[in-house]
Every structure is written in structure tokens, then in C-alpha cells.
Structure 1
């Protein structure tokens, strides 16, 4: 499966006026205005900006977790306003190879859109290649994005609990090892991980040169996971899980699902236990 696009390929498509929508999703969890500010200072020509908190997440009061998925119909309407339907080629980038572009990649796939690519290396690779940036805000003709949600692509807390306890699925925690083990927890009131979860830090889908690992390396990275079993991927709030979902699919895993609420949702239920031991 080809989910990545190089900056050279994107530049070629833009130079030849190919129909494509570029989406800038740069964000910083510690500085929520970083992405919007960076976009205003300069972005890839033709790029629109979508914000993790305002556009790629729903209301935490109505849904579980700190970055719940937005309402599918409302998000589809927003996509249509930016000239995106299910036939539009979409290329997404963040600052480098980070978690935010894969988040939107997953959301679009979940809504039935297949022609979606993450820009390898993000904005940094674009700048390193010496390609043009602009401050111009693009205007796209409106389209109608008709969502066809793949309901099997996501699972919720009760399903996670039941399937892991029954050994019907493998649960992955995508956070850093120190957070998985409960040694540090900068964001939530409880530390540790969901019982039964195995730790696969999301940054480990990247190679030493900070590029995505090639397919063979991803096969090796996920070699201990059974391909004939459901894989549920979690993290803190359903964002950093998405690079792992991309990596698993690139490695040939087909039954891969996201727990959108992840650890932040899990600990919102007082009866749910957490663990700090390695699985």
C-alpha cells in the first residue's frame, strides 16, 4: 500500500496544475497556536490549514477522550467547503514526520476516502528541497463530500475491554515507553497503560534518518504481532496511534482498528484499572 508522497512528487503535481488539495496540519501539543501561526508565515502553495483541536477533533464533553473524532457529517461538510470529495487527491503534511498528518490520513480513510497521501518529511523536507512557499490563502470550489464511514475501523472502550480480556484482539499503546510504564505522565491524572496493552512507540515506525521505515523494516518491526488477529491501536487520545496504524497497514496488516478515546478515555471510567508492568 502506498500512503506516502515525496516532496519531489508533490512539487511535480503542483507545477503541472494537477487537481490536488494540499492540507497543512502542523500543530504543537504544548503551543496550540503554533500551526496556525506557521501557516500564516508560509505554507506549501495551494495548502489549506486544518487545526487538530478545532477541525480534527470533536467535543471532549460529548465524546470520550481528549481528542475524540469529530462528527462525521459535520467534518464531511467542512471537507466539501475546501473542495474535497472522495475522488479528490489529498496530500497532508505536518512539520516533519509527526503524528498529525497520519491523524487526518486515518480520518479520511475512515470516511471512505482512499486517495490520501502523507507528505514524507513534511514541511521541513519541502523547505530542505528549496521549493516555493507562499502566504496566499487558496480558494477552492465547493464539493460535496459524502461520507461512507468504515464502522469496523474504530472500537470503543467496552469493545476494547471485552476483546482484550477474551484474547480476541491485540492492543497496542503507541505512547513513549516511560508513559506506558507509568514512570511519567505529563497530561493525565493516572499513569500507566490499559491492562494487556503492548508498547509500540509511534516514532519507531521511523528510521534513523527520521524518514518512514521501508516496508521490509516495518515487517520486521511488527514481526511479533499475529496477522490473523485484530489489532487495536491506542495512545493517549487517538492521535499518535495513527502513525502506527499507517505502519501496520504498510506492513500488510489488514484488521487494524483505532481506539479513538485511548488512555484518556479509558481512565475516565473510575472502574477501569491501569497497569505499569510490561506486557
Structure 2
């Protein structure tokens, strides 16, 4: 069995002690970068290992990059191996933000050639609501053998975005909230607004009121209504820093709309150059 998009908690609990399954805690807070690891130490899914968005899944910020640049993939490959991961493992990733951070690792593993990775539906909140077990024990594991097969076609650079928008050859979707997209409220980045021509679909729209993913049929309908006749492989996702955009990418994959890409630098990189156009409203 290979699960590649979203996985239900009741399925994960059945495989908790399966040697081939590896669970990774991706909890993180933009307001407090240590909050995730602190929460992990206070309680996590049994056998879960922890990764940190900024220390493990991002490179250092520079004057030209967004807030969460893509990691050095050679270094990331070593970190993945250090977690004990091999290509034989089914990976389950989770967080406490509806998958907003876990989908970053989901996407990165796919870039490295590992497709058998799924996001825990509902995150740790839903897990706890089902009275499933947690622990404070730290897992023991050996370094795995992980050889990357990097697929650089899965993301676009800023120059690619500029050129493709000029040619009208991509459908760009912004995963930020509507207020941030319209430039009415910008709590993180120094410039408000959005890239001209980008559509808006806040990633929260992928979930119901219980924090679970909408059905694949409903997601398919909603995305097709948004992108109309644009092929899925011409869709590019962005957000503030290239993290929560992966949530929309996952939702499309879960809906059977495969092949969309990520604008890795996203809004926080776009605004590094004051000559790039900005739209509001």
C-alpha cells in the first residue's frame, strides 16, 4: 500500500507499530520558531520524529530570497537519511495547523523522488479528539539509505513567473487569506498586495469546519471552477513564503488534478525587487 496525499487517523493508528511506516511531526509557529519542538517534547504521536521548518526544511534567508528559501537539497537528503528514511518507507507527516507546515515536507519529499508520503488528515488535534495515543518518549532509529532523485521541474523561480505571466501561460494561485491578497492586512511582509493576474484561494478553503480535508470530488469541483480550462500542469501555487502554497498543491493532487507546481519564493521574494508590479483589491 502506498499513500500519496491525505491519510485518515484511523488508518495511521492501525500501522503505528509497523516497521515500514515512519511518522514525522512538523509542528511550527511563525510567531515562535521553538513552539513546535517544545510541543513535540510535551507529547507526539508514538514513534514520531521531528523536523523544524526553518532549521531543516529551509535555507538561510538572503537579501534576494523570500522568508523560507528552498533548502540545499544535498543537505536535505542527508537529513532525510538521518531520520531513518529509505525509499521503502511509507511516510506520514502532521502538524497542528491543518497541514500548513506538514505539506512543505510532503512536497519536498516528492521533489526528492519519494512519493509514498501522506499528510495526516486533521493533524494532531483530530488525533487527540479520537483519543488515540501520544507519548513523550523519543524514538530510536538508525540512519537510512536515501538516494535522492531530484525533480527540478516541480517549482518555478521568480524569473519564470515573470516570463510565464507575460506569456499568459500559467494560472497562478495565491494561498494567502483574502485580506492579505487584497492588501488590506499584511501582518508578516513589509509590502501588501498580490502579484497582478494571480487568483486567490486561501488554503483554509481546502478543509471543512472540523479541520478535515474536503472530499476529493468537492476539491476537484472547486479547483476546476477556479482554474476553468487551464490544465493542472499549468497551475502554479504561491503564498507568503512558499510553505502554505503546498497545501493547495496537495489539495489538487488529492482531487486528481496532478502536475501543478510551486512558486518557491512566493510573495516575500517577489517584493524584494521594487520594480516588480503589485496589485491590490
| TM-score (structure 1 length as normaliser) | 0.95
Q: 1:227 offset after TM fit, Å?
A: 4.4
Deviations, residues 20-42 of structure 1 (Å, cap 9, x unaligned): 11100111111221111110111
Mapped pair 1:13 → 2:30: no
SS at match of 2:93: strand
Measured against aligned partners, the alpha-carbon deviations of 1:134-182 in whole angstroms (never above 9, x if no partner) come to: 1111111111211111111000000001101111111111100000000
**Deviations 1:46-104, CA, capped at 9 Å, x for gaps:** 01110111111111128621011111110010110110122211100101523011111
Question: 2: distance between equivalents of 1:165 and 1:62?
Answer: 25
Matched with 2:235 is 231
- Judge conservation of contact 2:172–2:199 (CA < 8 Å) in 1: yes
1:177 and 2:182 aligned: no
Query: Which of 73-82 and 206-215 deviates more?
Result: 206-215
Q: How far apart are the structure 2 equivalents of 1:98 and 1:250?
A: 13
Residue pairs, 1:112-127, within 5 angstroms: 112-127=113-128
Q: Assess if the C-alpha contact under 8 Å between 1:181 and 1:193 holds in 2.
A: yes
Moved over 3 A (4+): none
Check whether the contact 2:171–2:230 (CA below 8 A) recurs between aligned residues: no
Partner residue in 1 for 2:221: 220
What SS class does the counterpart of residue 77 from structure 1 fall into? helix
The Cα shift of 1:13 comes to: 0.6
Deviations 1:100-139 (A, max 9, x none): 1111101111111011011111111121111221111111
Greater displacement, 83-92 / 239-248: 83-92
Aligned to 1:210: 211
Contact 1:87 1:113 in 2 (8 A): no
5+ residue gaps, structure 2, are none
Structure 1 pair 270–62 and aligned structure 2 pair: CA distance change class (3 A): closer
| Structure 1 residue aligned with 2:52 | 51
TM superposition score normalised by structure 2: 0.94
Q: Bigger shift: 38-47 or 221-230?
A: 221-230
RMSD of aligned alpha carbons: 1.5
Instruction: Work out the CA distance in 2 between the residues paired with 1:164 and 1:241.
Output: 18
Residue aligning to 2:279: 275
Per the alignment, residue 244 of structure 1 pairs with 248
- d(CA) in 2 for partners of 1:252 and 1:132? 32
Give runs of aligned pairs for residues 155-166 of structure 1, distance below 5 A.
Answer: 155-166=156-167
1:251 and 1:227 map into 2 onto residues whose CA distance is: 15
State how far apart, in whole Å, the 2-side matches of 1:155 and 1:84 are: 27
- Structure 1: any 5+ residue segments left out of the alignment? none
Residues 231 and 257 of structure 1 are in contact (CA less than 8 Å); yes or no, is this contact kept in structure 2?
Answer: yes
Partners of 1:8 and 1:58 lie apart in 2 by 35
- How many residues of Structure 1 are paired with residues of Structure 2 in the alignment? 276
**Secondary structure of residue in 2 paired with 1:232:** strand
Distance 1:250 1:13 in 2: 21
